[in-house]
Structure 1
Amino acid sequence: MQENPAATGRGHIAWTLTMLTACAMLAFAANSLLARLALRTTPIDAATFTAVRLGAGALTLLCIVRIQGAALAFTPTGWLSAALLFIYAAAFSFAYRDISTGAGALILFSAAQLTMISYGLMKGERASAWGMLIACTGMAVFLAPSAGMDALPLFAAMLMATAGFAWGGFSLLAKSGGAPIVNTAASFICTVPLAAALLLVQGGQLRFDGTGAIWALLSGSVTSALGYAIWYWVRVRLTAISAGAVQLSVPVISALLGVLLLGETLTLKSAVSALAVLGGIAWVTLTARP
C-alpha cells in the first residue's frame, strides 16, 4: 500500500509542532523553577539574578537576530515594551524569594491572562462572565489561609501579580506588529541599563554567587531567549484559542517541577483552587468572541 506523501508531510509537521510547543511550555515553566532554585538554594540576591538573566537574554537574542541578518530598531513603543519587560523580570525575581514555584507561576500566569482578557473586553470582545467569576473566586481561595496554614506572603503575591500585569502588557505590545524576535531582542537590550540602575539602587544588598549566576544565565539564555524564539515560531502556526489554552499547562508544570525537584508541597486546597483558576481562564479563552 503506497503512502500519501502529503499526509506524511502533514503528520511530520503536526508532530514537530507538538514537540516544539511542549518545549516552549517546559521552558516557560523552567523559568519559575530556575528563579526559585537560585533564590532559595544560593546566596544570590534578586537584583543580581535579574541583571544576569536580562543580560544573558539580550546577548542570546542579539546573536539570533544577527544570524537571521535582521536589523534592530529602537522605537518609543520598544522602550515602553522594555520597561514592562524589566518590571516583569524584577518583580518576578523579588517575589520568588518568598513564594513557592507553583504558586508564583499560577499568580503570574493568571494576572497576565486576565490583563489580556480585560484589554479584549475593553476593545469590545465578549467572553463568559461565569468563567471570569470562577477564575477570580479560585484565586481568592488559593491566596486565603486555611486551617493550620498561613496565607501566601502578601507582598510576594502582590509582586508576582505586578510581574504578571507587566508581562500581559508586554505580550499585548508584542502583538502590535513587526518581527517578534527582533522586537523582543530590542526590548531585552533596552532593559540592560534599567538592570544596571537596579544594581546601583540595591547597593550594599547585592550578593553574587557563581551557582546562582549559572541558574540566571540558563534562565536568560535558554528558557527565556530560546524559549521565546521557539514559542514565536509555534505561535504563528496555532490558532489564538489554541495558543491561549496551551499556556494553561505552564502553572501545572511549574508546580510539578517544584514538588519533584525542590521538595515543595501542594495541598488539596491549593490544587483544587488552582484548577478552578485555570478552568475559569480556559472557559473565558474558549468563549471569547470579537
Structure 2
Amino acid sequence: MTTITPIGRRERRFPGWVFQAMVCLVAFAANSIFCRQALMQDQIDPASFTAIRLLSGAVFLLCLIRSRQPRPAMGGSWRAGLALFLYAYLFSIAYVRLGAGVGALILFGAVQVTMFACAWKQGEPVQKKALIGMSLAFCGLLVLLLPGADTPPMGSALLMAVSGMAWGAYSLLGKGCANPLADTAGNFARTLAMLCVLGPIMLLGSHPRLSVPGVLYALASGILASGCGYALWYGTVKKISAQHAATLQLGVPILASLGGVWLLDEPMSIRLLTVSIVVLGGIALSLRARIA
C-alpha cells in the first residue's frame, strides 16, 4: 500500500544533533555538580582539581584514540588548548567563593555574550526566533538567580566571567574541527604542557589539599564530564550556528540546579520549577528556528 504525502506538506525529521546536544548539556551540568561538591566542601584545592581534571581527560582521550588507531593523528590547536586551560583553571578558582547559581549565571552569561558578539562580527545572520528565545531564556535565569542572592565578590565574579569568555572562544574554535575526538584529545594534551609551565605559579599562595572524594570528583569531571562531554560538544557545535550553541548552554544552570535537588538533596522551589519551564521554553523557541 502506497502512502501519499499531501502536496505542500514537508516531512520533518527530528535531527540527531538535538539529542547529542542534550547529552552535552547534561555533561556540562555534571561538571558543575562535581566541582561544587569537591571545592565548596574543601575536599581539594582548585589547582589540584584542575590538574587532575585536565590530566585524566587527556589520558582517557589519548587511550581512546590509540585503541581505535595504532598511530593516531593529533588534532586541535594551541589557541583552543589555551582557551580550555583558562576556562578550567579560572572556573575552579572562582567557584570557591561564588554560590553555584550566581557562578553559573556569570559563566554562561559571558559564554552567550562572547558567542553572539563573535557571530555578529563574522556576519552570521541573527534569526528573530533565536534572538527572542535567547532573551527569554536569559531573563528566566536572571529571575531565578539574582533576586535574594548576595552580591558576589568582585574578584571571583571577574574570574568567572573570563572563564566564560574562554569557554565561548573554545566552543567557537570547534566549529571548524574535522575530527572532534582527535581535536579534543589534542587540546587536552596541550593543556598538560601549560600545566608543566604554569603549575608552580598556580600553587603560589595556595595550600594543596587532597582527599579521596576530592580526587574522585576531579577524575569524574575530567574523564566523564570533560573528556567525553567536550568531544561530543565539538561534534555538535560544528552543526549549528554560534547563536544556537550559545542559547543551548543557558540550559546548563537549570540542569545543574535540578541535579542539585535530585542528587544533593537541595530544596525544590516553585520559583525554580517555573523558571525552568521558562528557560527551557526559550531554548525550544530558539532551536525551532534551527530545525524549521
TM-score by length of 2: 0.75
Is the contact made by 2:175 and 2:234 (CA closer than 8 Å) also made in structure 1?
A: no
Unaligned runs of 5+ in 1: 2-12
Relative distance call for 1:284 and 1:111 in structure 2 (3 A) is farther
Distance in 2 (CA, whole Å) between partners of 1:14 and 1:164 is: 30
Is the contact made by 2:138 and 2:250 (CA closer than 8 Å) also made in structure 1?
A: no
Relative distance call for 1:260 and 1:45 in structure 2 (3 A) is same
Distance in 2 (CA, whole Å) between partners of 1:60 and 1:94 is: 24
Deviates more, 1:217-226 or 1:249-258: 249-258
- Select the residue among 259, 262, 281 that pairs with 1:260: 262
Q: 2:99 matched to which residue of 1? A: 100
Deviates more, 1:34-43 or 1:85-94: 34-43
Q: 1:67 matched to which residue of 2? A: 67
Deviates more, 1:254-263 or 1:126-135: 126-135
- The one-letter code matched in structure 2 to 1:258 is G
Distance in 2 (CA, whole Å) between partners of 1:126 and 1:14 is: 23
Distance in 2 (CA, whole Å) between partners of 1:266 and 1:228 is: 29
- The one-letter code matched in structure 2 to 1:212 is G
SS of aligned partner of 1:152: coil
Distance in 2 (CA, whole Å) between partners of 1:140 and 1:154 is: 18
Aligned length: 271
Is the contact made by 1:39 and 1:97 (CA closer than 8 Å) also made in structure 2?
A: yes
Unaligned runs of 5+ in 2: 2-12
- Give the Å deviation of 1:121: 0.9
SS of aligned partner of 1:151: coil
- Give the Å deviation of 1:19: 5.8
Q: 2:108 matched to which residue of 1? A: 109
**Considering only aligned residues, what root-mean-square deviation do their CA atoms show, in Å?**
3.6
Q: How does 1:269-284 map to 2 (within 5 A)?
A: none
- Give the Å deviation of 1:39: 0.6
Q: How does 1:1-290 map to 2 (within 5 A)?
A: 20-69=20-69, 70-73=72-75, 78-124=77-123, 125-128=125-128, 146=148, 150-201=150-201, 202-203=203-204, 205-233=207-235, 239-240=240-241, 246-264=248-266
Relative distance call for 1:175 and 1:16 in structure 2 (3 A) is closer
Q: Which has the higher helix share?
A: 1
- The one-letter code matched in structure 1 to 2:164 is G
- Give the Å deviation of 1:119: 0.7
- The one-letter code matched in structure 1 to 2:229 is G
SS of aligned partner of 1:205: coil
Is the contact made by 1:32 and 1:104 (CA closer than 8 Å) also made in structure 2?
A: no
- Give the Å deviation of 1:233: 4.8
Distance in 2 (CA, whole Å) between partners of 1:161 and 1:82 is: 18
TM-score by length of 1: 0.76
Distance in 1 (CA, whole Å) between partners of 2:195 and 2:219 is: 14
String of CA shifts for 1:83-139, please: whole Å, max 9, x gaps: 111100011111111223343333322221221111111122334576676677667
Distance in 1 (CA, whole Å) between partners of 2:133 and 2:48 is: 39
Relative distance call for 1:235 and 1:177 in structure 2 (3 A) is closer
Distance in 2 (CA, whole Å) between partners of 1:80 and 1:92 is: 18
